[in-house]
């Protein structure tokens, strides 16, 4: 049993997250994963944008950057280029990363830049007022869609895979042991690694969508976030409403920063 407080920036508590929010579970799970890999506080950098998930850097006592809306991956790219030895972790949300920051997201995946992105997907803009986000399921309600969203949602793991990420996984805050293993694998991967984390928002999403109590959202994850190996065996009818979890992509391909360093070495020899 280790002391979580070692990694906690106590001066910023109490935190701003609502009761029943999944974001605190992600913070604790990340600390467990870092501890498992013996990542020291000095060698890790956490970068975030704007939103509830992006408050995480305030609460973890490593090197942190809280940046502008949608730009966390761009700042993280700069950090990694400046000091490639750092373990760069981006924490972001569905709105931050795939709406405002959508271009940075797909191009960091395409370039396969060595960083781990923890993308908290709560199907809504939480902090900024409960608006429809790119992952709000069609028909679900939001402050900007009182009769239900008319839009088709992004599959954000699928987006990263299609863009070229070398590691893509999906986990959730109910199945925390699985989530810890996925974060460990993502941190170990050399290249762009994404963990999409289903992290419920009872305040902005749940109460508009018949799941006002945090326990309702946890039960939904328990029953519907299922391992990909089980999901793949279901009929098309049975798959409806279910979300596959686990490692979705794990491939080897050249990593951008290493390629950049190789080029510098080659040019030095000329
Ligand atoms: Fe969490 Fe939603 Fe509250 Fe933000 S608004 S802290 S995502 S429950
Ligand atoms: Mg969100």
51-95 pLDDT tens trace = 999 999 999 999 999 999 999 999 999 999 999 999 999 999 999
> What is the structure's pLDDT at 5?
87
Distance 53 CA to ligand 1 centre (A): 8
Band of pLDDT at residue 1, cut at 50, 70 and 90: low
Q: Is the pLDDT of residue 179 over 80?
A: yes
96-145 pLDDT tens trace = 999 999 999 999 999 999 999 999 999 999 999 999 999 999 999 999 99
> What is the structure's pLDDT at 3?
82
- Distances from the Cα of 204 to the Cα of 36, 52, 54, 160, 213, angstroms: 33, 11, 16, 26, 12
Band of pLDDT at residue 245, cut at 50, 70 and 90: very high
Band of pLDDT at residue 187, cut at 50, 70 and 90: very high
Is residue 2, in this structure, part of any structural domain at all? Answer: no
Q: Is the pLDDT of residue 211 over 80?
A: yes
From 204, 207, 212, the mutation candidate for ligand 1 (largest count of ligand atoms within 8 A of CB) is 204
Q: Is the CB of 101 under 6 A from ligand 1?
A: no
- Distances from the Cα of 149 to the Cα of 14, 39, 75, 144, 197, angstroms: 34, 42, 32, 8, 22
> What is the structure's pLDDT at 147?
98
> What is the structure's pLDDT at 139?
97
Q: Is the pLDDT of residue 199 over 70?
A: yes
> What is the structure's pLDDT at 250?
98
Number of separate domains in the chain = 1
Is residue 6, in this structure, part of any structural domain at all? Answer: no
> Which ligand has its closest atom nearest to the C-alpha of 49?
2
> What is the structure's pLDDT at 209?
96
- Mean pLDDT for 237-253 is 97
> Which ligand has its closest atom nearest to the C-alpha of 131?
2
> What is the structure's pLDDT at 45?
98
Q: Which residue range forms the structural domain that includes residue 118?
A: 16-267
pTM of the model: 0.97
Q: Is the CB of 94 under 6 A from ligand 1?
A: no
Q: Is the CB of 96 under 6 A from ligand 1?
A: no
Q: Is the CB of 21 under 6 A from ligand 1?
A: yes
> What is the structure's pLDDT at 194?
98
Is residue 257, in this structure, part of any structural domain at all? Answer: yes
Is residue 3, in this structure, part of any structural domain at all? Answer: no
* Residue located nearest, by CA, to atom 1 of ligand 1: 21
| d(C-alpha 81, C-alpha 83), whole Å | 6
What are the DSSP calls for 36-81, one per residue? Answer: HTT--GGGEEEEE-SSSGGGHHHHB-SEEEE--TT-HHHHHHHHHH
Distance 254 CA to ligand 2 centre (A): 31
> What is the structure's pLDDT at 269?
79
The contacts of residue 235 (CB under 8 Å, 6+ apart) are: none
* Residue located nearest, by CA, to atom 5 of ligand 1: 126
Q: Is the CB of 17 under 6 A from ligand 1?
A: yes
Q: Is the CB of 54 under 6 A from ligand 1?
A: no
4-35 pLDDT tens trace = 889 999 999 999 999 999 999 999 999 999 99
- Mean pLDDT for 144-165 is 97
Is residue 189, in this structure, part of any structural domain at all? Answer: yes
Is residue 198, in this structure, part of any structural domain at all? Answer: yes
Q: What is the CATH number of the domain that holds 187?
A: 3.40.50.970
From 14, 17, 122, the mutation candidate for ligand 1 (largest count of ligand atoms within 8 A of CB) is 17
Is residue 7, in this structure, part of any structural domain at all? Answer: no
Distance 252 CA to ligand 2 centre (A): 30
Band of pLDDT at residue 204, cut at 50, 70 and 90: very high
| d(C-alpha 252, C-alpha 238), whole Å | 33
Whole-number average pLDDT of the chain: 96
252-264 pLDDT tens trace = 999 999 999 999 9
Q: State the closest ligand 1 atom to the C-alpha of 199, by its place in the atom list counted from 1.
A: 7
Q: State the closest ligand 1 atom to the C-alpha of 205, by its place in the atom list counted from 1.
A: 2
> Which ligand has its closest atom nearest to the C-alpha of 122?
2
Is residue 5, in this structure, part of any structural domain at all? Answer: no
């Amino acid at each position: 049993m280790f002391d979580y407080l070692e990694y906690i920036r106590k001066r910023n508590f109490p935190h701003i997250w609502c009761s029943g929010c999944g974001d605190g579970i992600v913070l604790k799970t990340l600390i467990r994963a870092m501890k498992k890999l013996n990542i020291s506080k000095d060698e890790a950098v956490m970068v975030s944008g704007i939103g509830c998930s992006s408050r995480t850097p305030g609460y973890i006592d490593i090197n942190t950057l809280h940046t502008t809306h949608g730009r966390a991956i761009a700042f993280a790219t700069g950090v990694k280029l400046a000091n490639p030895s750092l373990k760069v972790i981006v924490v972001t949300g569905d709105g931050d990363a795939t709406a405002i920051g959508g271009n940075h997201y797909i191009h960091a995946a395409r370039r396969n830049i060595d960083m781990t992105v923890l993308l908290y997907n709560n199907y809504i803009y939480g902090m900024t007022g409960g608006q429809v986000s790119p992952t709000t399921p069609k028909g679900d309600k939001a402050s900007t869609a009182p009769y239900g969203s008319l839009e088709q949602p992004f599959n954000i793991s699928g987006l990263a895979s299609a863009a070229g990420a070398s590691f893509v996984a999906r986990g959730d805050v109910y199945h925390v042991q699985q989530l810890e293993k996925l974060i460990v694998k993502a941190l170990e991967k050399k290249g762009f690694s994404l963990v999409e984390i289903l992290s419920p928002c009872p305040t902005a999403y749940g109460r508009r969508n018949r799941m006002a109590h945090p326990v309702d959202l946890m039960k939904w994850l328990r029953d519907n976030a299922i391992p990909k190996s089980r999901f793949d065996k279901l009929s098309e009818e049975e798959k409806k409403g279910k979300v596959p979890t686990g490692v979705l992509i794990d491939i080897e391909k050249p990593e951008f920063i290493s390629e950049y360093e190789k080029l510098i070495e080659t040019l030095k020899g000329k």
